[in-house]
Amino acid sequence: MPVATPAQYRAMLDAAQKGGYAYPAINVTSLPTINGALKAFAESKSDGIIQISTGGGEFASGTAVKDMALGAIVLAEAVHILAAKYDVLVALHTDHCHPKNVEKFLKPLIAATAARRAAGKGNLFNSHMFDGSELSLAENIKQSVDLMKLCAENEIILEVEAGVVGGEEDGHDTSGVANDKLYTTPEDMLAVYEALSPLGRFMFAATFGNVHGAYKPGAVKLKPTILKDGQKAVTDKHGAAAEMDLVFHGGSGTPLEEIRETLGYGVIKMNIDTDTQYAFTRPIVAHMMKNYDGVLKIDGEVGDKKAYDPRGYLKKGEQGLCERMKVACDDLLSTGKTIFGTV
């Protein structure tokens, strides 16, 4: 099955909301990371989300080009081709796009989807994230509304963020923000809902102390009940049907009980990047250390071509990422719940 259609993507989100589970959303940067993610979803019989950041897109375009939108298009087209070989649904998403990158990343990608649709093809991307958390809430909402209108014209779902996810990841550095900015208020959530819901479906990355990057247990203080309080503020005023599709950023290293708690508050997507980066790199490091004299031409020797052939160690990285993603599917309760073939 190719990448999910807009209708299938909506059905995926509906199924997760109704079923009390969430989709792992993995950042990819290359063919091996794409293949590892697809393999994990297929082996877990889980649908999932594959996403590309501005930094990932720039990397994929090559060091001589450094075009974040072009690289994202290359990776997305590869996902479309490769996903057709698997019996699960995957959606394509872009991660944190800050206001300064809207014109050179988000808008060109929306235009690429529009061009694809005009040619009778499916959407290039199913959803995009606009991260306006550095702005005032009023300006964040204003720019989100403008982008929602563009997205809705092409059946694209917009993810927005109010509040700030702490830490640093892929050029997204908020490690110096004040602690109170790490927690979205019920009033914030209500304001976002009332501004965006008339325009179409959206996802909301509300923040509850979550932090990007890798930290030792206990270093990050999450308050998942913030999500419950915000949802209650919205549904008390607008009814049960107003429950929002929430996104958990900074999920790497989070204790399982806190992950599961968020599922009960409407989280249907959890980003995972730091843990999968490590899972990809760890077996490659092991390969290099075990084959030191093979990957290097030491003391005038010729080395071992089988050891330094990139295919050998990149396959190990792909498998390491795959295994970690299967754990994510289990943690988020999406394992065995693909809706492939039913919509």
Of residues 207, 162, 165, 166, the one with CA closest to residue 183: 207
Burial of 180 (0-12, 13-18, 19+ CB in 10 A): exposed
Of residues 175, 127, 179, 132, the one with CA closest to residue 150: 127
- Three-state secondary-structure class, residue 172: strand
Letter string b/e over residues 273-304, b meaning 16 or more CB atoms within 10 A of that residue's CB: bbbbbbbbeebbeebeeebeebbeeeeeeeee
Q: Residue 220: what pLDDT?
A: 55
CA–CA dist 320, 37 (Å, integer):
10
Q: pTM for the whole thing?
A: 0.92
Q: Residue 32: what pLDDT?
A: 98
Q: Residue 45: what pLDDT?
A: 98
| 3 secondary structure, DSSP code | S
Find residue 94's DSSP bridge partners: 52, 128
Q: Residue 106: what pLDDT?
A: 98
CA–CA dist 244, 256 (Å, integer):
22
Name the catalytic one among 95, 131, 170, 245.
95
Q: Residue 167: what pLDDT?
A: 45
CA triplet 95, 276, 203: central angle to 5 degrees?
30
Residue 152: CB atoms within 10 A of its CB come to 15
What are the average pLDDT values for consecutive 10-residue runs of the chain, which has 343 residues?
A: 92 98 98 98 98 98 98 98 98 97 98 97 97 93 98 98 61 48 86 97 88 52 88 97 93 83 96 95 98 94 96 98 98 98 91
Give the pairing of strands 202-206 and 157-162. parallel
Please say if 275 is a catalytic residue.
Answer: no
CA–CA dist 250, 275 (Å, integer):
10
Contacts of 133 (CB under 8 A, 6+ apart): 140, 161, 162, 163, 164, 165, 174, 181, 207
CA 112 to the chain's CA centroid? 20
- The first and second tokens of residue 78, run together, are 């590869």
CA triplet 315, 53, 44: central angle to 5 degrees?
45
CA triplet 151, 167, 252: central angle to 5 degrees?
80
6-331 CATH: 3.20.20.70
Strands (E), 116-165: 127-130, 157-162
Residue type, 60: A
- The first and second tokens of residue 72, run together, are 């994202």
- The first and second tokens of residue 12, run together, are 């995926």
